């Protein structure tokens, strides 16, 4: 059967037979890099279009439907517009940091793609601390936002950046604890093993109550971490015009914009991997024939299907909820989510020791 894994293997074999192993590895790295950049751009385009269509659907209007068939080329046209626009740097800005910030945002988003398992045996780098890697690298995101806010020399930007700093640092705790809750019964941080452990059922079903609590907390925390509504205080356009990227224009703005969407994709991919089985098809206990049927659907379809379902959920939040205030946002994290997730972690540990999960 046609699969991403086979293509990867074919390329790998062909390269190794044609060149010596050093050159083959180098070429493979270049291919991987290009693939990540392409995926980055592609995801940006697809997600922006998806967001606009989802928003339009919820807001009883049509959304982009003029450029290309069904408006599919709309975000392409927007990108071209942003590319040819002048990227202004304000006079009072710290020019070096101002220009560096969007690239850090983009690099972080790209680095995060490394350990994601996109399909069966199709992964850039299956490192043994994959989940830890994701949580630590995604923290660097806040530096780019603070950098952008500070170097813009704009009060709105600074306030947006400060809000974002407080927000991301706080919500990382809950996100981390929610992830840990699932890691406890698995006993591994490696993505391939996490997926493999769900061969007989996804963790959201196997871990029942604590897993469901962890899933809800995880979704709330990652929405906050990616600065999406209702936690979009860093941008908060009705308060701070555009928050930390007020002064950015052209492609520099687009990089922030794209990295936001790619971050959403990545946190949803992590969520899908941890709770919904990643590329693992939907299996029910001993229904052999049903499980076989499910196996016929390619693993990449499963992975992207789950991820996009979660992305849709996050978009749904954005277009229905009003924004929280900064003190309510921090209260929610420190007074509610953090204690609950700590307790939840204990509960899951107890369940794991007693073996009370399926």
Partner 1 sequence: MVEALGSTQEGNLIINVGPQHPATHGVLHLVITLNGETIVHVEPHLGYIHRSIEKMCESLTYRQFIYVTSRMDYLSSHINNHACALTVEKGMQIEVPARAQVIRILMDELTRIASHELWWGAMAMDLGAFTPFFHAFRERESINDIMEETCGARLTMNYIVPGGVMQDIHPNFQNRVKAFLKMYKSKIHEYDEMVTGNIIFQNRMKNIGVLSAEDAISYGCTGPTARGSGVSSDIRKIYPYEIYNQLDFDEVLEHGGDSFSRYMVRIREMQESIKIIEQLIDHIPEGDFQAKTKAVLKLPKGEFYTRVETARGELGVYIVSEGGTTPYRIKFRSPGFSNLSVLNHIARGSKLGDLVAMMGTLDLVIPDIDR
Q: Are 133 and 126 in contact (CB under 8 A)?
A: no
Least CB distance to partner 1 at residue 230 (A): 6
Strand partners, 123: 117
Answer for which of 32, 36, 55, 100 binds partner 1 (CB under 8 A) is: 55
Phi, psi at residue 202, to the nearest 5°? -75, 155
Of the candidate spans 25-33, 170-178, 320-328, 342-350, the one that interacts with partner 1 by CB under 8 A turns out to be: 320-328
Decide: is 323 part of the binding site for partner 1 (CB under 8 A): yes
Least CB distance to partner 1 at residue 326 (A): 5
Query: How many distinct helices (H) and strands (E) make up the chain?
Result: 15, 2
Decide: is 338 part of the binding site for partner 1 (CB under 8 A): no
59-88 positions binding partner 1, by CB under 8 A: 59-61
Neighbours of 268 (CB within 10 A): 23
Of the candidate spans 172-180, 243-251, 305-313, 323-331, the one that interacts with partner 1 by CB under 8 A turns out to be: 323-331
Q: Are 319 and 159 in contact (CB under 8 A)?
A: no
Answer for which of 7, 30, 58, 346 binds partner 1 (CB under 8 A) is: 58
Q: Which of 196, 241 has the CB closer to partner 1?
A: 241
List Cα–Cα distances, 196 to 120, 200, 201, 251, in angstroms: 10, 9, 10, 40
Q: Are 108 and 140 in contact (CB under 8 A)?
A: yes
Neighbours of 232 (CB within 10 A): 22
Least CB distance to partner 1 at residue 329 (A): 10
State the binding string over 249-288 for partner 1 (x if CB under 8 A, else -): ----------------------------------------
111-140 positions binding partner 1, by CB under 8 A: none
Strand partners, 117: 123
How far is residue 338's CA from residue 175's CA, in Å, rounded to a whole number? 9
Q: Which of 16, 153 has the CB closer to partner 1?
A: 153
How far is residue 31's CA from residue 240's CA, in Å, rounded to a whole number? 41
149-168 positions binding partner 1, by CB under 8 A: 155-156, 159, 163
Decide: is 319 part of the binding site for partner 1 (CB under 8 A): yes
Answer for which of 254, 274, 324, 338 binds partner 1 (CB under 8 A) is: 324
Find tokens 């909820």 and name the residue.
Answer: 321
| Residues binding partner 1: number (CB under 8 A) | 28
166-195 positions binding partner 1, by CB under 8 A: none
Sequence-ordered alpha helix ranges (H) in the chain: 4-18, 21-58, 74-84, 95-111, 130-151, 155-186, 191-196, 203-206, 208-225, 237-240, 250-275, 288-295, 299-320, 326-331, 338-354
Of the candidate spans 108-116, 207-215, 257-265, 319-327, the one that interacts with partner 1 by CB under 8 A turns out to be: 319-327
Answer for which of 239, 249, 305, 347 binds partner 1 (CB under 8 A) is: 239
Decide: is 325 part of the binding site for partner 1 (CB under 8 A): yes
Of the candidate spans 30-38, 80-88, 230-238, 259-267, the one that interacts with partner 1 by CB under 8 A turns out to be: 230-238
How far is residue 189's CA from residue 204's CA, in Å, rounded to a whole number? 17
List Cα–Cα distances, 22 to 16, 28, 127, 137, 236, in angstroms: 9, 10, 21, 28, 50
How far is residue 125's CA from residue 272's CA, in Å, rounded to a whole number? 18
Answer for which of 236, 272, 276, 311 binds partner 1 (CB under 8 A) is: 236
- List interacting residues with partner 1 (CB under 8 A): 55, 58-61, 155-156, 159, 163, 229-230, 232-233, 236-239, 241, 319-328
């Amino acid at each position: 059967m046609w699969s991403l894994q086979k293509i990867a293997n074919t390329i790998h074999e062909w390269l190794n037979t044609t060149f010596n192993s050093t050159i083959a590895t180098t070429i493979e790295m270049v291919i991987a890099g290009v693939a990540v950049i392409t995926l980055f751009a592609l995801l940006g385009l697809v997600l922006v279009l998806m967001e606009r269509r989802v928003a339009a659907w919820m807001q009883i209007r049509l959304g982009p439907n003029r450029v290309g068939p069904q408006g599919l080329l709309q975000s392409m046209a927007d990108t071209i517009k942003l590319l040819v626009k002048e990227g202004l740097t304000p006079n009072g800005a710290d020019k070096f940091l101002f220009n560096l910030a969007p690239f850090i945002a983009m690099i972080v988003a790209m680095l995060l793609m490394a350990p994601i398992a996109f399909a069966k045996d199709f992964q850039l780098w299956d490192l043994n601390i994959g989940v830890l890697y994701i949580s630590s690298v995604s923290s660097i995101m806040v530096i780019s936002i603070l950098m952008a806010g500070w170097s813009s020399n704009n009060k709105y930007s600074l306030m947006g950046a400060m809000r974002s700093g407080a927000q991301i640092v706080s919500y990382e705790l809950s996100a981390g604890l929610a992830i840990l809750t699932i890691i406890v019964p698995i006993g591994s941080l490696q993505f391939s093993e996490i997926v493999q452990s769900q061969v007989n059922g996804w963790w959201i079903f196997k871990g029942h109550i604590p897993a469901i609590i962890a899933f809800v907390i995880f979704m709330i925390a990652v929405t906050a971490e990616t600065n999406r509504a209702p936690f979009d205080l860093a941008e908060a356009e009705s308060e701070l015009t555009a928050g930390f990227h007020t002064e950015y224009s052209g492609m520099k703005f687009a990089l922030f914009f794209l990295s936001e969407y790619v971050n959403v994709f990545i946190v949803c991919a992590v969520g899908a991997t941890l709770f919904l089985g990643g590329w693992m098809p939907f299996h029910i206990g001993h229904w052999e024939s049903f499980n076989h049927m499910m196996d016929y659907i390619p693993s990449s379809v499963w992975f992207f299907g789950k991820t996009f379902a979660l992305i849709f959920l996050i978009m749904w939040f954005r277009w229905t909820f009003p924004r929280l205030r900064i003190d309510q946002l921090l209260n929610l994290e420190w007074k509610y989510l953090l204690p609950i997730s700590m307790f939840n972690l204990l509960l899951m540990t107890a369940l794991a020791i007693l073996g009370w999960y399926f």
